[in-house]
């Protein structure tokens, strides 16, 4: 088997008494899109910073593109941190080219690519404008271009979707998908499960610094236990809330994900609600990532979590 | 290294685009020009103080006015004798009395030393008398006093009258001389800065003072020769005593002459009586030989202070710039992106060098402006040349030790303080936080500034020597001492100590920078920062409580 792009083995990081990452192991195969999931504060950013050698782990090993330290392969990595910033006074073209040069491109190459990328992402007119004149969404796009300008083999994106509007989210999604198709490895973190579900080949879910779930998307979903019912409906959903057959309910108002009790029959349940709600779709399938997430983290918390 | 260079270059480009940079560059020539032109301008215009006098003696004011009506006679005499550092004679020509055949000219040529001084001292008194008064008083009264009070035969009296007419001629010529030509011969007690606005009884003067028409007024008592009882000075401004001092000098001179006459002393004896005691200033030159102290030597000894100021200002401005930039970068959150491409040390080194280059550009431009200013300003503003000539630029530039020390100590001092402030900047999230943390550094910076005068006046004294060996002060104090100059071993020893300190500070700062730059929240205490210095690279030590 090919050597994985990234391999973490028993990595632990402590800040004083607080253990941010606890004995974390994870393998990112070459050429896959890998989702790194977990609620806020679970250790995702710290892990990514360790991968990038911005922090050093206290214990464990990290192998990245066949090396022990990201510092040795910096030029082959692209990193988009969660908190994104630009030099306000620099021009858009300059800053993208500057990031390229910092990754070892020569000046001419960096400028050619910067112009191409900006053109391709619809920012061609902005090349000579200062960064401070960009809107937030455009600024994030410029950041992303700065991350990708040197054609990195491994792209690490920390919460790439946070704060994006639907159009930019679409662009980000397409970009990640295209990177995957080009054979690059992408590791991105998120706490919105739908995004992971759409894109990822593999996922790892961490909580409180520990790995809770890991594997390919289908492995994780099929391992998620009993199937879930996806229900699209119209009418008063409150009858669902107290229904005796339902074990857990993720009700979004017009759609709901329902896990029935072990002894309940989906057919009986359908028959029961049929007269009370106008049903547009009734779909029994593997639980969604969201459901798995809620189930896993909720169990850990020792309480019922219905919304995240 | 090339990444460091990229960071440095970006830093230079960014700074060059800021207004602060251009204000920094342009403010210097503006300040320089102003510091030369304003005193020139003030001297000629602003400082005019109108004053009033009530003269109860009846004669003192008249003599004063007469003495104000003559040029600076010692200077004029020096010019007529063609002495070396005398100003050039007025281009519009001289009166007959100062040309060949003139009695005044002959007297100025014949006399020298104390006798010349005594002779020149008597001229204002003569100028105060009209021809009639002079003839009438020959042998007695004021004119007699001026001539020592000796009775004269008729032929000499005739000669004396002719001489007196020459003095009046001098006075008329001086009065008509164009302002620019008169300027070099205006006496130190000249009438330029003060204007006699009113001669009136005290009551009237008091009202004028109350209305603000006068800056001050004097009351001269009935018999000033006897004593100063009853002589008074009135002003609403009690801090500016210059007018009173000036008037005191003037009156004292005349009163002294009167007293001399009363005692029947010859002018020579009087001059001797008044002559102060003086030490001639000598120094040892490099070879240990004795040499005379000239004005330029003194200037040269004080010149390092100018360099210390420049050094201090540039180190201060640049270190602040670095601090601001670091904090900005940190609060921008761009730092993490940078750290995925360059190491924290490369980033910090790049920033420090980038700003050093910016600083050298600034200081270099100042030097250029300075040289240009000294060369060009006198052409544009002739009045400014007198002040500029005191800079003795050529002599300062001819001493390589000054310029070499300046650039050497600029780099060392900058690196030291820039590292400190980069470290501080990295742990702060806002300028406000940084202001608290940088206080100790600012105090360190202030010490050499306060020590500047004492060190300059005793460059090889104990204070100067001790301060030189405290590394944060070394650049400033050693620059300050350049006029000494310090011995070679001191340069070497303090240099090694300084280099070591710069190296260690830089390393320590890089360590703090690495930990601090990603940290958010409450800035750490100094105790915590010190602990980071000992911690292994890349780890985040526990935060103390």
Could you tell me if B183 and B313 lie in one domain?
Answer: no
> Is B285 a member of any domain?
no
If you search the block for the tokens 């072990």, which residue do you land on?
A: A262
> Is B281 a member of any domain?
no
pLDDT above 60: residue A198: yes
Around Cβ B99, how many Cβ atoms within 10 Å? Answer: 12
Helices of type H across B275-339: 295-332, 335-339
Output the CA angle B300-B301-B302, nearest 5 degrees.
90
Backbone angles phi, psi at B77, to 5 degrees: -60, -45
Q: Domain ranges in chain A?
A: 6-86+134-222, 228-285
Test A54 with B518 for CB contact under 8 angstroms: yes
What is the tens place of the pLDDT at every residue in B487-506? 888 888 999 999 999 999 88
Q: Which stretch of A204-218, A258-272, B138-152, B270-284 has the lowest confidence by average pLDDT?
A: B138-152
Q: Do domains A6-86+134-222 and A228-285 have the same CATH topology?
A: no
Test A85 with B541 for CB contact under 8 angstroms: no
Which pLDDT belongs to residue A176?
92
Q: Which residues in chain A have their CB less than 8 angstroms from residue B518's CB? A: 49, 54-55
**DSSP state letter for A130:** B
Q: Which residues in chain A have their CB less than 8 angstroms from residue B334's CB? A: 85-87
Number of domains chain B is built from: 2
> Is B540 a member of any domain?
no
**Closest to A31 in 3D by CA, of A79, A65, A61:** A65
Which of A85-99, A223-237, B120-134 is predicted most confidently?
A85-99
Report the DSSP beta bridge partners of residue B219: B54, B232
Could you tell me if B458 and B391 lie in one domain?
Answer: yes
Q: Which stretch of A245-249, B164-168, B482-486, B495-499 has the lowest confidence by average pLDDT?
A: B482-486
Among A55, A79, A84, the residue with its CB nearest the CB of B333 is A84
From the candidates A11, A18, A51, A85, which should be mutated to test the interface with B, based on the most B CB atoms within 10 A?
A85
Could you tell me if B242 and B178 lie in one domain?
Answer: yes
Could you tell me if B203 and B75 lie in one domain?
Answer: yes
Could you tell me if B197 and B300 lie in one domain?
Answer: no
Test A102 with B333 for CB contact under 8 angstroms: no
Around Cβ A281, how many Cβ atoms within 10 Å? Answer: 10
pLDDT above 60: residue A306: no
More confident residue, B224 or A304: B224
More confident residue, B32 or A19: A19
Q: Does B340 touch chain A (CB under 8 A)?
A: yes
> In which band, very low, low, confident or very high, does the pLDDT at B543 lie, cut at 50, 70 and 90?
very low
The CATH class of the A6-86+134-222 domain is: alpha beta
Give the alpha-carbon dihedral of B506, B509, B511, B512, to 10 degrees. Answer: 180
pLDDT above 80: residue A173: yes
What is the tens place of the pLDDT at every residue in B300-336? 666 777 778 878 888 888 888 888 888 888 877 788 8
B362/chain A closest Cα distance in angstroms? 21
Could you tell me if B419 and B312 lie in one domain?
Answer: yes
pLDDT above 90: residue B338: no
**DSSP state letter for A67:** B
Half-sphere exposure of residue B223, counting CA atoms within 13 Å on the CB side? Answer: 3
Tell me the CA distances in angstroms from B355 to A99, B16, B315, B365, one per residue in order.
20, 10, 11, 15
Compute the distance between CA of residue B370 and CA of residue B391 in angstroms, rounded to an integer.
10
Could you tell me if B25 and B110 lie in one domain?
Answer: no
Domain boundary (B243, B274, B305) is at B274
> In which band, very low, low, confident or very high, does the pLDDT at A117 lie, cut at 50, 70 and 90?
very high
What is the tens place of the pLDDT at every residue in B420-452? 888 888 888 887 888 888 888 888 888 888 888
Could you tell me if B488 and B434 lie in one domain?
Answer: yes
Backbone angles phi, psi at A206, to 5 degrees: -120, 155
Could you tell me if B391 and B422 lie in one domain?
Answer: yes
> In which band, very low, low, confident or very high, does the pLDDT at A47 lie, cut at 50, 70 and 90?
very high
| Domain covering A228-285 assigned CATH 3.30.70 in the classification | yes
Instruction: Please give the helix or strand (H or E) that residue B283 lies within, else none.
Output: strand B282-284
Could you tell me if B438 and B337 lie in one domain?
Answer: yes
Compute the distance between CA of residue A232 and CA of residue A252 in angstroms, rounded to an integer.
10
Test A79 with B340 for CB contact under 8 angstroms: yes
Locate B489 and state its tokens: 């071993």
If you search the block for the tokens 């001297």, which residue do you land on?
A: B43
8 A C-beta contact, residue B349 and residue B418: no
Could you tell me if B377 and B322 lie in one domain?
Answer: yes
What is the tens place of the pLDDT at every residue in B361-394? 888 888 788 777 777 766 766 665 655 565 555 5
Q: Residue B301: helix, strand or coil by DSSP? A: helix
Domain boundary (B274, B302, B326) is at B274
pLDDT above 60: residue B189: no
What is the tens place of the pLDDT at every residue in B235-248? 888 777 888 888 88
Q: Does B20 touch chain A (CB under 8 A)?
A: no
Cβ–Cβ pairs < 8 A, chains A and B: 75
> Is B280 a member of any domain?
no
What is the tens place of the pLDDT at every residue in B345-366? 888 889 888 988 888 888 888 8
More confident residue, B85 or A218: A218
> Is B358 a member of any domain?
yes
> Is B505 a member of any domain?
yes
Domain that holds residue B371: 2-38+292-534
Among A15, A85, A90, the residue with its CB nearest the CB of B333 is A85
Compute the distance between CA of residue B275 and CA of residue B258 in angstroms, rounded to an integer.
17
More confident residue, B534 or A113: A113
> Is B284 a member of any domain?
no
Cis peptide before A182 (omega within 30 of 0): no
pLDDT above 90: residue A188: yes
From the candidates B329, B337, B538, which should be mutated to test the interface with A, based on the most A CB atoms within 10 A?
B337
Q: Which stretch of B82-86, B92-96, B146-150, B370-374 has the lowest confidence by average pLDDT?
A: B146-150
**Closest to B297 in 3D by CA, of B398, B406, B384:** B398
> Is B279 a member of any domain?
no
Could you tell me if B20 and B98 lie in one domain?
Answer: no
Backbone angles phi, psi at B521, to 5 degrees: 90, -160
């Amino acid at each position: 088997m090919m050597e994985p792009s990234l391999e973490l083995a028993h990595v632990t990081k402590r800040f004083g008494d607080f253990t941010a990452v606890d004995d974390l192991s994870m393998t990112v195969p070459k050429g896959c899109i890998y989702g790194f999931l977990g609620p806020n504060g679970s250790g995702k950013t710290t892990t990514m910073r360790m991968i990038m050698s911005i922090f050093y782990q206290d214990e464990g090993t990290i192998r990245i593109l066949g090396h022990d330290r990201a510092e040795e392969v910096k030029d082959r990595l692209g990193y988009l941190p969660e908190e994104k910033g630009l030099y306000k006074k620099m021009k858009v073209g300059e800053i993208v080219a500057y990031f390229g040069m910092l990754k070892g491109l020569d000046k001419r190459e960096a400028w050619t690519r910067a112009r191409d990328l900006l053109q391709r992402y619809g920012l061609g007119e902005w090349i000579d404008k200062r960064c401070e004149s960009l809107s937030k969404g455009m600024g994030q796009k410029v950041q992303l271009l700065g991350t990708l300008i040197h054609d990195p083999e491994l792209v690490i994106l920390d919460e790439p979707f946070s704060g994006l509007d639907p159009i930019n989210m679409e662009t980000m999604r397409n970009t990640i998908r295209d990177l995957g198709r080009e054979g690059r490895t992408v590791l991105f973190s998120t706490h919105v499960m739908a995004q992971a579900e759409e894109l990822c080949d593999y996922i790892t879910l961490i909580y409180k610094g520990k790995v809770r779930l890991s594997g390919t998307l289908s492995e994780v979903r099929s391992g998620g236990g009993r199937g879930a019912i996806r229900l699209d409906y119209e009418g008063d959903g409150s009858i669902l809330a107290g229904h005796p057959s339902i074990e857990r309910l993720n009700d979004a108002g017009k759609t709901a994900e329902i896990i029935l009790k072990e002894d309940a029959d989906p057919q009986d349940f359908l028959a029961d609600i049929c007269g009370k709600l106008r049903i547009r779709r009734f779909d029994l399938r593997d639980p969604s990532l969201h459901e798995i997430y809620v189930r896993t983290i909720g169990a850990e918390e020792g309480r019922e979590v219905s919304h995240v | 290294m090339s990444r460091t260079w990229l960071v440095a270059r970006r830093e230079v480009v960014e700074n060059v685009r800021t207004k602060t940079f251009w204000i920094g560059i342009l403010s210097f020539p503006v300040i320089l020009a102003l510091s030369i032109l304003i005193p020139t301008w003030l001297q000629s215009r602003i400082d005019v103080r109108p004053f009033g006098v009530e003269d109860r003696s009846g004669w003192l004011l008249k003599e004063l006015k007469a003495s104000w009506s003559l040029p600076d006679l010692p200077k004029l005499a020096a010019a007529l004798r063609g002495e070396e550092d005398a100003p050039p004679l007025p281009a519009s020509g001289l009166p007959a009395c100062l040309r060949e055949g003139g009695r005044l000219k002959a007297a100025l040529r014949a006399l020298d030393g104390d006798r010349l001084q005594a002779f020149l001292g008597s001229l204002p008194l003569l100028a105060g008398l009209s021809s009639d008064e002079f003839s009438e008083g020959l042998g007695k009264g004021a004119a007699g006093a001026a001539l020592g009070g000796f009775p004269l035969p008729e032929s000499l009296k005739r000669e004396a009258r002719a001489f007196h007419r020459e003095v009046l001629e001098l006075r008329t010529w001086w009065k008509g001389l164009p302002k620019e030509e008169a300027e070099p011969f205006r006496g130190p007690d000249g009438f330029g800065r003060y204007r006699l606005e009113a001669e009136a009884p005290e009551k009237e003067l008091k009202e004028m003072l109350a209305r603000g028409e006068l800056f001050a007024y004097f009351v001269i008592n009935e018999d000033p020769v006897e004593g100063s009882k009853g002589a008074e000075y009135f002003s609403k401004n009690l801090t500016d005593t210059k007018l009173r001092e000036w008037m005191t000098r003037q009156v004292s001179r005349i009163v002294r002459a009167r007293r001399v006459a009363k005692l029947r002393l010859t002018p020579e004896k009087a001059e001797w009586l008044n002559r102060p005691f003086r030490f001639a200033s000598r120094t040892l030159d490099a070879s240990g030989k004795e040499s005379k102290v000239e004005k330029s030597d003194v200037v040269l000894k004080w010149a390092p202070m100018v360099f210390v100021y420049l050094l201090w200002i540039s180190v201060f401005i640049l270190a602040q710039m670095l601090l601001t930039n670091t904090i900005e970068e940190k609060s921008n959150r761009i730092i993490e992106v940078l750290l995925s491409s360059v190491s924290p040390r490369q980033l910090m080194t790049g920033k420090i060098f980038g700003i050093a280059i910016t600083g050298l550009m600034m200081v270099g431009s100042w030097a250029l402006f300075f040289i240009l200013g000294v060369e060009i300003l006198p052409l544009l503003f002739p009045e400014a040349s007198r002040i500029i000539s005191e800079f003795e630029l050529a002599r300062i530039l001819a001493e390589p030790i000054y310029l070499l020390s300046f650039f050497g100590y600029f780099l060392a001092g900058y690196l030291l303080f820039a590292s400190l402030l980069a470290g501080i900047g990295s742990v702060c999230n806002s300028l406000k936080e940084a202001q608290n943390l940088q206080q100790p550094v600012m105090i360190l910076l202030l010490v050499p500034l306060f020590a500047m005068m004492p060190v300059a006046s005793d460059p090889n004294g104990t204070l100067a020597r001790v301060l030189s060996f405290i590394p944060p002060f070394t650049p400033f104090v050693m620059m300050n001492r350049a006029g000494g100059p310090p011995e070679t071993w001191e340069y070497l020893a303090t240099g090694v100590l300084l280099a070591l300190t710069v190296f260690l500070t830089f390393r320590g700062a890089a360590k703090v920078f690495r930990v601090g730059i990603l940290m958010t929240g409450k800035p750490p205490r100094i105790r915590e920062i010190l602990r980071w210095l000992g911690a292994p690279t890349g780890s985040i030590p526990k935060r103390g409580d």
